[in-house]
Amino acid sequence: MTWTRLDDGWTDQATLADLSFEDRWHYLALIQHCSRTDKLDGVIRGVDARRCSDHPDTASAIANLNELGLLEVLDKDRYKVVRIDDHVPPPHIREKAEQDKLRQRRNRAHKVGDHSLCKPESNCVTGIVTRDVGRDVGTGRDGTGREQATTPKRIGLALTPTEDWDVVEPGTVGELSA
């Protein structure tokens, strides 16, 4: 999946105000085409510049974008989206995405027992690993909490064993004696 950055005021730009709705749509499609196809320099083929949207007259849209300085004609069959750096992800985001993909690939392989992708410095256990060990040490300790008589309850300064606690019946919460 790719993404395109647009400033909050992108639609309010004075240069875009001079364009028709269809031409603005075509300009956005050019930007997204560059993002989707990793054309980070903004240079695209003419055929792609004409096909990237459903504009009824792409030749006029390209001419209008060129006239406003949003699209540069490089030669007969290549164009450049001038301010593409404002819209594609910055390098640190692109690099992080690639690193995340590699880390996830390693993790999936490791979970199924393939340790060929594990980093040497990771101290990976390559033997049989029990997968069903939980991290919650309290797992399986279900109960009411009243089973142990040694668990004290503080009443004032004295400690009372749990079997001496008052039993509350449903509907009698406010009727206990102190």
Residue 5's Cβ-side half-sphere holds a number of Cα atoms within 13 Å equal to 12
Domain presence at residue 139: no
Q: Going by C-beta distance under 8 Å and a sequence separation of 6 or more, which residues neighbour residue 71?
A: 27, 30, 49, 62, 65, 79, 80, 81, 82
Q: Examine the domain organization and report whether 74 and 112 are in the same domain.
A: no
Q: Examine the domain organization and report whether 66 and 27 are in the same domain.
A: yes
Q: Indicate the number of domains in the chain.
A: 2
Domain presence at residue 171: no
72: phi then psi, degrees, rounded to nearest 5 = -110, 135
Find the domain containing 97 and state its range.
91-117
Nearest CA-CA partner of 70 in 4, 26, 126, 120: 26
pTM score above 0.85: no
Q: Going by C-beta distance under 8 Å and a sequence separation of 6 or more, which residues neighbour residue 20?
A: 64
CB 58 within 8 A of CB 50: yes
Q: What is the pLDDT along the chain (178 residues), one digit of tens a residue?
A: 667 888 888 888 888 988 999 999 999 999 999 988 888 899 999 999 999 999 999 999 999 999 999 999 998 899 999 988 888 777 777 778 788 888 899 889 888 888 888 887 777 765 444 555 555 555 555 556 555 555 555 555 566 677 777 777 777 666 555 5
Domain presence at residue 128: no
Give the N- to C-terminal CA distance of the chain in Å, as an integer. Answer: 65
